[in-house]
A and B are shown apart, each in its own frame.
Chain A
Amino acid sequence: MSKPTLDRADVMKKLMAVRGDALAIAGLGSPVWDIASSDHKPENFYLWGGMGCAVSMGLGCAMAQRGRNVWVVTGDGEALMGVGSFATVAAQHPSNLAVIVLDNEHYGETGMQQAATSHGTDIAAMAKGAGIPNTMTVTDEAGVDALAAALQSGPLPMVAVVKVAATKPNLVLPSRDGVYLKNRFRQAVLGATEAMHQS
Protein backbone atom coordinates (compact mmCIF):
# COMPACT_ATOMS: atom_id res chain seq x y z
CA MET A 1 0.00 0.00 0.00
CA SER A 2 1.39 3.35 -1.01
CA LYS A 3 1.15 6.33 1.32
CA PRO A 4 -1.60 8.87 0.58
CA THR A 5 -0.29 12.03 -1.05
CA LEU A 6 -3.27 14.40 -1.35
CA ASP A 7 -3.02 17.56 0.73
CA ARG A 8 -6.08 17.93 2.94
CA ALA A 9 -6.14 21.72 2.63
CA ASP A 10 -6.14 21.48 -1.17
CA VAL A 11 -8.89 18.87 -1.09
CA MET A 12 -11.08 20.96 1.21
CA LYS A 13 -10.58 24.05 -0.94
CA LYS A 14 -11.82 22.20 -4.03
CA LEU A 15 -14.76 20.60 -2.28
CA MET A 16 -15.91 23.73 -0.49
CA ALA A 17 -15.86 25.58 -3.81
CA VAL A 18 -18.90 23.51 -4.84
CA ARG A 19 -20.60 23.52 -1.44
CA GLY A 20 -23.44 25.85 -2.39
CA ASP A 21 -25.88 26.10 0.52
CA ALA A 22 -25.00 22.72 2.01
CA LEU A 23 -24.91 22.47 5.79
CA ALA A 24 -21.72 21.03 7.26
CA ILE A 25 -21.01 18.92 10.34
CA ALA A 26 -17.34 18.55 11.24
CA GLY A 27 -16.18 15.47 13.13
CA LEU A 28 -13.81 16.20 15.98
CA GLY A 29 -10.12 16.86 15.36
CA SER A 30 -8.54 17.95 12.11
CA PRO A 31 -11.80 18.14 10.10
CA VAL A 32 -12.87 20.95 12.44
CA TRP A 33 -9.76 22.97 11.58
CA ASP A 34 -10.15 21.94 7.92
CA ILE A 35 -13.65 23.37 7.61
CA ALA A 36 -12.85 26.40 9.75
CA SER A 37 -9.90 27.27 7.51
CA SER A 38 -11.58 26.53 4.18
CA ASP A 39 -15.14 27.84 4.67
CA HIS A 40 -15.93 29.22 8.11
CA LYS A 41 -19.59 30.22 8.40
CA PRO A 42 -22.61 29.81 10.68
CA GLU A 43 -23.91 26.83 8.70
CA ASN A 44 -20.99 24.77 10.07
CA PHE A 45 -21.42 22.75 13.24
CA TYR A 46 -18.07 21.91 14.78
CA LEU A 47 -17.86 18.87 17.04
CA TRP A 48 -15.18 19.40 19.68
CA GLY A 49 -16.09 16.07 21.28
CA GLY A 50 -18.48 13.15 20.94
CA MET A 51 -16.18 11.00 18.83
CA GLY A 52 -18.17 8.61 16.65
CA CYS A 53 -21.29 10.77 16.43
CA ALA A 54 -20.63 12.93 13.36
CA VAL A 55 -22.48 10.68 10.91
CA SER A 56 -25.53 10.13 13.14
CA MET A 57 -25.68 13.86 13.77
CA GLY A 58 -25.52 14.49 10.03
CA LEU A 59 -28.34 11.99 9.53
CA GLY A 60 -30.56 13.72 12.08
CA CYS A 61 -29.89 17.06 10.47
CA ALA A 62 -30.45 15.74 6.95
CA MET A 63 -33.80 14.20 7.94
CA ALA A 64 -34.89 17.51 9.45
CA GLN A 65 -33.68 19.62 6.51
CA ARG A 66 -34.80 17.64 3.47
CA GLY A 67 -34.48 20.63 1.16
CA ARG A 68 -30.76 21.16 1.76
CA ASN A 69 -27.74 18.98 1.42
CA VAL A 70 -25.85 18.08 4.58
CA TRP A 71 -22.17 17.27 4.39
CA VAL A 72 -20.43 15.42 7.18
CA VAL A 73 -16.68 15.93 6.99
CA THR A 74 -14.80 13.69 9.38
CA GLY A 75 -11.68 11.62 9.87
CA ASP A 76 -11.00 7.92 9.57
CA GLY A 77 -10.71 7.35 13.33
CA GLU A 78 -13.93 9.21 14.03
CA ALA A 79 -15.77 7.38 11.25
CA LEU A 80 -14.55 3.98 12.49
CA MET A 81 -15.76 4.68 16.02
CA GLY A 82 -19.30 5.22 14.72
CA VAL A 83 -19.14 2.88 11.76
CA GLY A 84 -22.50 1.29 12.53
CA SER A 85 -24.05 4.63 11.59
CA PHE A 86 -23.48 3.74 7.95
CA ALA A 87 -26.08 0.98 8.34
CA THR A 88 -28.46 3.41 10.02
CA VAL A 89 -27.99 5.86 7.15
CA ALA A 90 -28.48 3.11 4.56
CA ALA A 91 -31.79 2.10 6.14
CA GLN A 92 -33.07 5.70 5.95
CA HIS A 93 -31.46 6.45 2.57
CA PRO A 94 -31.49 10.25 2.92
CA SER A 95 -31.17 11.80 -0.54
CA ASN A 96 -29.38 14.86 0.88
CA LEU A 97 -26.55 13.42 2.99
CA ALA A 98 -22.91 13.15 1.94
CA VAL A 99 -20.19 11.81 4.21
CA ILE A 100 -16.63 12.80 3.35
CA VAL A 101 -13.97 10.93 5.28
CA LEU A 102 -10.55 12.57 5.20
CA ASP A 103 -8.53 9.41 5.74
CA ASN A 104 -4.92 10.05 6.73
CA GLU A 105 -4.66 6.55 8.22
CA HIS A 106 -3.63 8.01 11.58
CA TYR A 107 -4.96 9.56 14.78
CA GLY A 108 -3.66 13.04 14.06
CA GLU A 109 -4.64 14.82 17.26
CA THR A 110 -3.13 12.36 19.69
CA GLY A 111 0.36 11.82 18.32
CA MET A 112 -0.12 10.38 14.84
CA GLN A 113 -0.63 6.80 15.95
CA GLN A 114 -1.49 4.47 13.09
CA ALA A 115 -5.20 3.71 12.64
CA ALA A 116 -6.60 0.45 11.32
CA THR A 117 -6.82 2.20 7.96
CA SER A 118 -3.00 2.05 7.91
CA HIS A 119 -3.32 -1.71 7.92
CA GLY A 120 -5.82 -2.14 5.13
CA THR A 121 -9.20 -1.28 6.66
CA ASP A 122 -11.32 0.12 3.82
CA ILE A 123 -13.98 2.52 5.11
CA ALA A 124 -15.63 2.88 1.68
CA ALA A 125 -16.02 -0.89 1.52
CA MET A 126 -17.51 -0.88 5.03
CA ALA A 127 -20.02 1.77 3.95
CA LYS A 128 -20.82 -0.23 0.83
CA GLY A 129 -21.28 -3.33 2.95
CA ALA A 130 -23.58 -1.36 5.27
CA GLY A 131 -25.86 -0.80 2.29
CA ILE A 132 -24.88 2.61 0.96
CA PRO A 133 -24.77 2.14 -2.83
CA ASN A 134 -22.75 5.23 -3.75
CA THR A 135 -19.26 5.05 -2.29
CA MET A 136 -15.91 6.12 -3.64
CA THR A 137 -12.28 6.20 -2.65
CA VAL A 138 -10.26 9.17 -3.85
CA THR A 139 -6.48 8.99 -4.13
CA ASP A 140 -5.50 11.66 -6.67
CA GLU A 141 -6.41 15.07 -8.07
CA ALA A 142 -8.65 13.61 -10.78
CA GLY A 143 -10.52 11.77 -8.05
CA VAL A 144 -11.01 14.98 -6.09
CA ASP A 145 -12.51 16.60 -9.21
CA ALA A 146 -14.79 13.59 -9.65
CA LEU A 147 -15.87 13.83 -6.02
CA ALA A 148 -16.60 17.55 -6.37
CA ALA A 149 -18.79 16.71 -9.36
CA ALA A 150 -20.50 13.86 -7.53
CA LEU A 151 -21.27 16.09 -4.55
CA GLN A 152 -23.26 18.29 -6.90
CA SER A 153 -24.90 15.64 -9.06
CA GLY A 154 -25.36 12.82 -6.54
CA PRO A 155 -26.85 10.40 -6.09
CA LEU A 156 -26.92 10.77 -2.32
CA PRO A 157 -26.49 9.37 0.22
CA MET A 158 -22.82 8.98 -0.56
CA VAL A 159 -19.74 8.05 1.43
CA ALA A 160 -16.46 9.27 -0.05
CA VAL A 161 -13.13 8.33 1.47
CA VAL A 162 -10.38 10.75 0.51
CA LYS A 163 -6.88 9.44 1.17
CA VAL A 164 -4.86 12.40 2.44
CA ALA A 165 -1.26 12.73 3.60
CA ALA A 166 -0.61 12.47 7.34
CA THR A 167 0.59 16.04 7.66
CA LYS A 168 -0.16 18.54 10.39
CA PRO A 169 -3.10 20.72 9.35
CA ASN A 170 -3.19 24.48 9.70
CA LEU A 171 -4.68 25.12 13.10
CA VAL A 172 -7.60 27.42 12.40
CA LEU A 173 -9.76 27.17 15.49
CA PRO A 174 -13.43 28.10 15.61
CA SER A 175 -15.23 28.86 18.87
CA ARG A 176 -15.21 26.06 21.43
CA ASP A 177 -18.50 27.20 22.95
CA GLY A 178 -21.01 24.47 22.09
CA VAL A 179 -24.08 26.49 23.03
CA TYR A 180 -22.91 29.33 20.79
CA LEU A 181 -22.16 26.97 17.89
CA LYS A 182 -25.56 25.32 18.24
CA ASN A 183 -27.52 28.55 18.38
CA ARG A 184 -25.48 30.14 15.60
CA PHE A 185 -26.19 27.19 13.32
CA ARG A 186 -29.89 27.11 14.15
CA GLN A 187 -30.26 30.83 13.64
CA ALA A 188 -28.61 30.60 10.22
CA VAL A 189 -30.81 27.68 9.18
CA LEU A 190 -34.12 28.52 10.84
CA GLY A 191 -34.04 32.28 11.36
CA ALA A 192 -33.71 33.99 14.72
CA THR A 193 -37.30 33.68 15.91
CA GLU A 194 -37.78 30.02 15.09
CA ALA A 195 -34.30 29.20 16.43
CA MET A 196 -35.09 30.67 19.83
CA HIS A 197 -38.80 29.89 20.09
CA GLN A 198 -39.33 26.56 18.40
CA SER A 199 -43.00 25.74 18.04
Chain B
Amino acid sequence: MADAWTVEAHRLLKKHGIKTVGYVPDAGLTDLINACDADNDIKAVVMTTEEEGIGLSSGAWLGGEKAAVLMQSSGVGNTVNAIASIVSSCQFPLFMIVTMRGQYGESNPWQIPMGQATAPVLRSLGVRVYEVDTVEDALGAIENGLKMAFVSNAAVAVLIGQKLIGAKSFIADVAEEVSHV
Protein backbone atom coordinates (compact mmCIF):
# COMPACT_ATOMS: atom_id res chain seq x y z
CA MET B 1 0.00 0.00 0.00
CA ALA B 2 1.19 3.49 -0.87
CA ASP B 3 2.43 5.82 1.88
CA ALA B 4 -0.56 7.78 3.22
CA TRP B 5 0.93 11.22 2.51
CA THR B 6 1.75 10.40 -1.10
CA VAL B 7 -1.82 9.49 -2.07
CA GLU B 8 -3.01 12.89 -0.90
CA ALA B 9 0.06 14.68 -2.28
CA HIS B 10 -0.72 13.29 -5.73
CA ARG B 11 -4.33 14.41 -5.39
CA LEU B 12 -3.19 17.92 -4.44
CA LEU B 13 -0.82 18.16 -7.41
CA LYS B 14 -3.75 17.31 -9.68
CA LYS B 15 -6.12 19.66 -7.88
CA HIS B 16 -3.72 22.55 -8.47
CA GLY B 17 -3.27 21.76 -12.14
CA ILE B 18 0.28 20.42 -12.11
CA LYS B 19 0.90 18.97 -15.59
CA THR B 20 4.58 18.09 -15.39
CA VAL B 21 6.49 16.51 -12.52
CA GLY B 22 10.26 16.42 -12.87
CA TYR B 23 12.07 14.08 -10.54
CA VAL B 24 15.31 12.49 -9.54
CA PRO B 25 14.22 9.42 -7.57
CA ASP B 26 14.45 8.88 -3.84
CA ALA B 27 13.18 5.93 -1.84
CA GLY B 28 10.90 8.28 0.07
CA LEU B 29 9.36 9.49 -3.20
CA THR B 30 8.73 6.08 -4.76
CA ASP B 31 4.97 5.98 -4.27
CA LEU B 32 4.47 9.58 -5.37
CA ILE B 33 6.58 9.09 -8.49
CA ASN B 34 4.67 5.91 -9.32
CA ALA B 35 1.34 7.69 -8.86
CA CYS B 36 2.42 10.52 -11.18
CA ASP B 37 3.83 8.07 -13.70
CA ALA B 38 0.54 6.16 -13.83
CA ASP B 39 -1.51 9.34 -14.23
CA ASN B 40 -2.37 10.27 -17.83
CA ASP B 41 -2.91 13.91 -16.85
CA ILE B 42 0.64 14.29 -15.52
CA LYS B 43 3.87 13.95 -17.45
CA ALA B 44 6.46 12.44 -15.14
CA VAL B 45 9.94 13.41 -16.31
CA VAL B 46 12.96 11.52 -15.03
CA MET B 47 15.93 13.88 -14.91
CA THR B 48 19.67 13.31 -14.79
CA THR B 49 20.24 16.05 -12.21
CA GLU B 50 17.96 18.12 -10.01
CA GLU B 51 19.15 21.32 -11.69
CA GLU B 52 17.16 20.30 -14.77
CA GLY B 53 14.02 20.53 -12.66
CA ILE B 54 14.52 24.26 -12.26
CA GLY B 55 14.83 24.72 -16.02
CA LEU B 56 11.95 22.35 -16.69
CA SER B 57 9.63 24.07 -14.24
CA SER B 58 10.52 27.58 -15.45
CA GLY B 59 10.16 26.52 -19.09
CA ALA B 60 6.77 24.97 -18.41
CA TRP B 61 5.63 28.25 -16.84
CA LEU B 62 6.83 30.16 -19.90
CA GLY B 63 4.61 27.87 -21.95
CA GLY B 64 1.61 28.32 -19.66
CA GLU B 65 1.75 25.15 -17.56
CA LYS B 66 2.52 24.36 -13.96
CA ALA B 67 5.26 21.91 -13.00
CA ALA B 68 6.48 20.46 -9.70
CA VAL B 69 9.94 19.12 -8.89
CA LEU B 70 10.67 16.14 -6.66
CA MET B 71 14.06 15.30 -5.23
CA GLN B 72 16.04 13.96 -2.30
CA SER B 73 17.65 16.50 0.02
CA SER B 74 21.14 15.86 -1.38
CA GLY B 75 19.84 16.99 -4.76
CA VAL B 76 19.12 20.46 -3.43
CA GLY B 77 22.85 21.11 -3.71
CA ASN B 78 22.57 20.69 -7.47
CA THR B 79 19.89 23.33 -7.83
CA VAL B 80 21.57 26.31 -6.20
CA ASN B 81 22.69 28.46 -9.12
CA ALA B 82 19.60 27.69 -11.19
CA ILE B 83 17.32 28.82 -8.35
CA ALA B 84 19.34 31.97 -7.68
CA SER B 85 19.96 32.95 -11.29
CA ILE B 86 16.71 31.93 -12.96
CA VAL B 87 13.94 31.60 -10.37
CA SER B 88 14.94 34.58 -8.24
CA SER B 89 15.95 36.88 -11.10
CA CYS B 90 12.73 36.26 -13.03
CA GLN B 91 10.39 35.54 -10.11
CA PHE B 92 9.41 32.21 -11.59
CA PRO B 93 7.07 30.11 -9.47
CA LEU B 94 8.81 27.03 -8.10
CA PHE B 95 7.29 24.16 -6.12
CA MET B 96 9.52 21.41 -4.81
CA ILE B 97 8.91 18.38 -2.63
CA VAL B 98 12.16 17.30 -1.00
CA THR B 99 12.44 14.05 0.91
CA MET B 100 15.02 14.28 3.66
CA ARG B 101 18.12 12.22 4.32
CA GLY B 102 20.72 12.80 6.98
CA GLN B 103 18.29 14.39 9.34
CA TYR B 104 16.76 11.87 11.79
CA GLY B 105 17.98 8.31 12.25
CA GLU B 106 20.23 8.30 9.19
CA SER B 107 22.38 5.20 8.67
CA ASN B 108 24.69 6.58 5.99
CA PRO B 109 27.07 9.19 7.39
CA TRP B 110 27.73 10.66 3.94
CA GLN B 111 24.13 11.86 3.84
CA ILE B 112 24.29 13.86 7.04
CA PRO B 113 26.19 17.00 5.97
CA MET B 114 23.92 17.83 3.04
CA GLY B 115 20.86 16.82 5.04
CA GLN B 116 21.84 19.37 7.66
CA ALA B 117 22.56 22.01 5.00
CA THR B 118 19.37 21.54 2.97
CA ALA B 119 17.03 23.96 4.75
CA PRO B 120 19.61 26.72 5.37
CA VAL B 121 20.80 26.54 1.75
CA LEU B 122 17.27 26.88 0.42
CA ARG B 123 16.49 29.71 2.82
CA SER B 124 19.65 31.54 1.81
CA LEU B 125 18.32 31.48 -1.77
CA GLY B 126 15.02 33.05 -0.74
CA VAL B 127 13.04 29.82 -0.98
CA ARG B 128 10.14 29.48 1.47
CA VAL B 129 10.90 26.30 3.37
CA TYR B 130 8.25 24.20 5.12
CA GLU B 131 9.76 21.43 7.24
CA VAL B 132 7.14 18.80 8.05
CA ASP B 133 7.13 15.61 10.12
CA THR B 134 3.50 14.50 10.07
CA VAL B 135 1.01 13.61 7.35
CA GLU B 136 -1.26 16.47 8.39
CA ASP B 137 1.53 19.05 8.26
CA ALA B 138 2.83 17.67 4.95
CA LEU B 139 -0.54 18.01 3.25
CA GLY B 140 -1.12 21.49 4.64
CA ALA B 141 2.29 22.59 3.44
CA ILE B 142 1.78 21.06 -0.02
CA GLU B 143 -1.65 22.64 -0.45
CA ASN B 144 -0.57 26.08 0.72
CA GLY B 145 2.82 25.85 -0.94
CA LEU B 146 1.20 25.18 -4.31
CA LYS B 147 -1.04 28.20 -3.83
CA MET B 148 1.84 30.46 -2.88
CA ALA B 149 4.09 29.25 -5.68
CA PHE B 150 1.67 29.71 -8.54
CA VAL B 151 -0.49 32.59 -7.34
CA SER B 152 2.27 34.66 -5.72
CA ASN B 153 5.22 33.66 -7.93
CA ALA B 154 7.02 32.28 -4.90
CA ALA B 155 9.69 29.59 -4.62
CA VAL B 156 8.51 26.97 -2.13
CA ALA B 157 10.12 23.78 -0.86
CA VAL B 158 8.28 21.25 1.31
CA LEU B 159 10.85 19.20 3.21
CA ILE B 160 9.41 15.81 4.17
CA GLY B 161 11.23 14.72 7.32
CA GLN B 162 12.55 11.28 8.14
CA LYS B 163 10.16 11.08 11.07
CA LEU B 164 7.43 10.83 8.44
CA ILE B 165 9.05 8.80 5.66
CA GLY B 166 11.27 6.78 7.99
CA ALA B 167 15.01 6.38 8.04
CA LYS B 168 14.97 3.19 6.04
CA SER B 169 17.67 0.69 6.69
CA PHE B 170 20.05 1.15 3.82
CA ILE B 171 21.26 -2.39 4.34
CA ALA B 172 17.81 -3.96 4.12
CA ASP B 173 17.03 -1.87 1.04
CA VAL B 174 19.86 -3.04 -1.14
CA ALA B 175 20.46 -6.70 -0.39
CA GLU B 176 18.95 -9.91 0.93
CA GLU B 177 22.13 -10.75 2.79
CA VAL B 178 24.93 -8.55 3.94
CA SER B 179 28.47 -9.31 5.02
CA HIS B 180 31.09 -6.86 6.26
CA VAL B 181 34.75 -6.85 5.32
- Chain A residues with CB under 8 Å of chain B are 23, 25, 45, 47-65, 70, 82, 84-85, 87-88, 91-92, 178-179, 181-182, 185-186, 189-190, 194-195, 198-199
Contacts and interface: CB of A to CB of B under 8 A. Distances in A.
B62 A50 contact: no
Q: Which of A70, A85, A190 has the most CB of B within 10 A?
A: A85
B63 A61 contact: yes
A86 to B, nearest CB: 9
Interface residues of B, number: 36
B60 to A, nearest CB: 4
Contact of A57 (B59, B81, B91): B59
A84 B46 CA distance: 11
A29 B32 CA distance: 38
A57 B56 contact: yes
B114 interface: no
Given A48-B89, A54-B55, A64 B65 contact: yes
Contacts of B150: 198
A63 B60 contact: yes
A37 B25 CA distance: 41
Given A182-B61, A182-B90, 10 more contacts: A23-B62, A60-B65, A60-B67, A63-B65, A64-B63, A82-B52, A84-B52, A85-B52, A88-B46, A185-B62
A91 B89 CA distance: 29
B153 to A, nearest CB: 9
Contact of B59 (A48, A58, A82, A178): A58
B59 A61 contact: yes
A45 B55 CA distance: 12
A135 to B, nearest CB: 18
Interface string B22-49: 1000000000000000000001011111
Contact of A65 (B54, B58, B64): B64
Contact of B60 (A48, A52, A64, A190): A64
Contact of B52 (A51, A65, A88): A88
Contact of B55 (A65, A82, A194, A199): A82
- The 8 lowest CB-CB distance pairs between A and B, nearest first, are A60-B59, A64-B63, A56-B55, A84-B48, A49-B85, A178-B90, A53-B55, A64-B65
B90 A179 contact: yes
B91 A179 contact: yes
Contact of B89 (A49, A60, A87, A189): A49
B99 interface: no
Contacts of B54: 50, 53, 56
